[in-house]
Structure 1
Amino acid sequence: MQELSVTTYIDAPTDKVWDVMANRQGEWFCPSPWRCDVVEQEKRAGGINKAVFRGPDGEEMPQEGVYLAWDEGRRFASTDAVTGDLQPAGPFMIGIWEIEQEGDGTRYTARARHWREEDRKAHEEMGFIQGWEACAAQLKAICEGD
């Protein structure tokens, strides 16, 4: 499997972590100083997932795909291989964001699964670990700080 992943322990209950994950993506879903503007979300398997990542110098990176899974309180997964109205797109990855109770807190794990080894390597070279760890740290800070 062509997978990259990050994980962290969050000292907050799973229901709180899920609420932030699912409803406050603009605050944690891409590394600061970038931000994520959610454009459209249908929180269900097959639902549209559109966002724009905005950089500090006016950069814009549109993101579009569909949810493959939306398991309330546990995980969501999306892919860029399919866009609205089930249109095929150039597949790069399946993203999976999930949580589970661990002691009094929550274990957060984010995975990127790629079709091809070269895509996994390219994602890693793009800074996957640093970027997704930064997102995990932002999520952790929100959940532990609120």
Structure 2
Amino acid sequence: MSYDLSVERRIDAPPSRVWQVMTDRITEWWCPKPWSTTIDKLEWKAGGAFHLIMRGPNGEADCQGEESVGGVLLEYEPERRFAFTDAFTPGWKPHEPFMVGIFEIEPDGDGTLYRATARHWTAEAMEKHREMGFEQGWNAVAEQLAGLAEGVPAHA
């Protein structure tokens, strides 16, 4: 059984443009505004380190009381998808898992279909993520990504 939460959005830009924004401008779309993201470490390859720091407008940590999301990239397929997990830290050191994040794009006519999925180990973890505001937050992120790829100015 799979415990997934997902969002989808059509983006009016070609997949190559969406991918470029997803990877080169991740700090601009990764968390909902007015929150910000900085990169501690990000190695775009399978097995690469993945550690982003998120901060609220007043410097506060995220809703879990944490200020970062990290782990390792499980998969990296250029212009198609990347996936990461927090179940390991770099060097494949086990860590208490929360989810696997999967970010995918595919051609959709003259645009792109974007899909982001959070896959959880348990129903309880999935429900916790839903209660934390998964749908609102991940939809806001999809909107920010679309705005960047479509050339629409972001609202701060």
1:19 aligns with 2:23: no
RMSD: 0.8
Within 5 A, what are the aligned runs for 1:1-146? Answer: 1-60=2-61, 61-145=67-151
Report the AA paired with residue 18 of structure 2. Answer: V
Higher share in helix: 1
Report the AA paired with residue 78 of structure 2. Answer: E
Superposition deviation, residue 14 in structure 1: 0.4
Percentage of identical aligned residues: 49
User: What is the TM-score normalised by the length of structure 2?
Assistant: 0.92
Whole-angstrom distance in 2 between the partners of 1:91 and 1:80: 6
Could you tell me which runs of 5 or more consecutive residues in structure 1 were left unpaired when the two chains were aligned: none
Whole-angstrom distance in 2 between the partners of 1:98 and 1:28: 15
Whole-angstrom distance in 1 between the partners of 2:19 and 2:79: 6
Q: Indicate the SS of the match to 2:129.
A: helix
Provide, for residues 14-46 of structure 1, a one-character-per-residue CA deviation record: whole Å limited to 9, x for no partner: 000000001101000100010111111111111
Q: Indicate the SS of the match to 1:12.
A: coil
Could you tell me which runs of 5 or more consecutive residues in structure 2 were left unpaired when the two chains were aligned: 62-66
Give the paired residue count. Answer: 146
Whole-angstrom distance in 2 between the partners of 1:116 and 1:83: 20
Whole-angstrom distance in 2 between the partners of 1:4 and 1:63: 17
Provide, for residues 32-66 of structure 1, a one-character-per-residue CA deviation record: whole Å limited to 9, x for no partner: 01011111111111110011001111113122100
The range that moved more, 39-48 or 96-105, is 39-48
Q: Indicate the SS of the match to 1:85.
A: coil
Report the AA paired with residue 22 of structure 2. Answer: M
Report the AA paired with residue 150 of structure 2. Answer: E
